Amino acid sequence: MEKFKFVDLFAGLGGFHYALKELGGECVFASEIDTKLRELYIRNHKHKKSLMYGDISKSVDQVPPHDVLVAGFPCQPFSKSGKQLGFEDTSRGNCIFYVIDILERLKPKYFIFENVSNFAKHNDGRTWEEIKNLIKKLGYYVRSSADFNQRLDKCNINLSPHQFGYPQKRERFFAVGSLAYLPTNPFPIPNEIKPSLKKILLSKKDLKKRKDSLIDLDDCQINKQAEESINLWNKFIDCLPNKHKDLPSAFPLWLEEYYSDFPYATQTPYQFLLDKGFNDEKINEELEKLPPYAREKASQFPLWKIKFIDDNRKWFRDFKNSIDKSIVDQIRKMDYTYRKLEWNFKNSNSSDIWDHTIQLRPSGIRVSNPIYVPTIVSLNSSQRPIYGPLKRHLTAREIARVFGFPSSLKLFGNHNLDTKALGNAVHKDVVKLIAKNLLNYGNLKVINDDYSREQKISA
């Protein structure tokens, strides 16, 4: 493959850098707003300090001519887990417009964008539609993973490493662009290779490498309350007639709803107490007796919460006679996180939570397929995946392997910082598959260039 130059925007750990360098690329500009990540990027990629920049809004005019632009622009304004402010998030939501400015001025042959899977749905699809139309007016053919499902030919907004045999489920939005023609669906086709998380776990010999700061078994221990909670939930599941197959998969199980009777459908508990004439002190006292999700000081819950409570109360009515109340009471003594359960692997052959991958998330104990890890979040180390059969969190080195990063990758040696950095990373091998396809199309000849140019704006 021919040599080419690329720029790496919102660079993070440099997943794009690793992928494009393996394809023959040379990085001529990188930007990353986080000072510590910039230092790490320079170390890992042997990148010249003179080519490393910070805030893209202050360095956009420094970007040199290049062939490929890659950008994993900030995802928080478009994520379902955030406020979804989009362009109204003035510090992060408008970063994409600096990217468009570069495309307009320098006209690189290709670009690749990456963001959260919700990006294409944000603002009922209008966010991506606006961006896409702006870029098309610059003369680019624009394709996105939101437009196609490689196997079923239906709308699908996600590409995920597990579709290509890599042991990580991380659904992501990708978009590619080219000044030359692109086929309707230029993305790699899932290969149906079954992932194997077990294969990338460190061996006993590797785990003894004390010089590797990304291997710390002491920090991988599960806290006692989490372990006790998982054991109690196993007992809870054993009470059910069909074990885990009776657990809901469309919504998380909120244990508080086992015998809750607070109002929720037409008004919140707060509004109910207000209508009864209680003063603020009494209202706060009564709200403290309720689960955290019921303490909202508003007149009505959002519809999604009403539905979750509806679904939970119906589920508990259906299975109340099967459940041992003493187990419920024990779980309800745990911290709030451990009182919720998300069973995300309905086709499992085992009802034992320890036979799966597990995450301890604010939304509850999440149980997933053991052949891959679920999405790595960039919050803190306690949310690192747990490999159930080994009853421990994955090490930072194992998580780096999950992303396709080489064993030479250096991190901070601080577990919270490392988890945050990895949680914002792109999967190196998925990016490489996408980029390889994109560059290969550029090497193909279009028979009728005049017709191609005429059709470009309508693509």
Q: Give the span between the Cα atoms of 143 and 183, in whole angstroms.
A: 8
> Measured on CA atoms in the order 383, 388, 392, 395, is the torsion positive or negative?
negative
Q: At a CB cut-off of 8 Å and minimum separation 6, what does 372 contact?
A: 161, 162, 166, 167, 168, 169, 195, 197, 357
- Is 220 among the residues known to form the active site? no
Picking from 421, 397, 419, 417, the residue whose alpha carbon sits closest to that of residue 409 is 397
Alpha helices, H only, 361-444: 396-402, 415-423, 428-442
Residue in this structure with the two tokens 């230092």, named with its chain if needed: 39
If you ran DSSP here, which 8-state letter would residue 31 be given?
Answer: E
Picking from 139, 129, 132, the residue whose alpha carbon sits closest to that of residue 104 is 139
Q: Strand runs (DSSP E) across 172-324, as ranges?
A: 172-178, 253-254
Q: Measured in whole angstroms, how far is the alpha carbon of residue 410 from the centre of its chain?
A: 22
Q: Give the span between the Cα atoms of 403 and 116, in whole angstroms.
A: 16
Torsion from C-alpha of 435, 438, 441, 446, nearest 10 degrees: -150
> What is the layout of strands, in order, in the sheet containing 68-71?
52-53, 25-31, 4-9, 68-71, 110-116, 172-178, 141-144
Q: Give the span between the Cα atoms of 195 and 199, in whole angstroms.
A: 9
What is the token pair recorded at 119?
């990006």
Q: Which of 75, 95, 155, 239 is catalytic?
A: 75
Picking from 344, 342, 12, 363, the residue whose alpha carbon sits closest to that of residue 169 is 344
What is the token pair recorded at 276?
């009864």
State the catalytic residues. 75
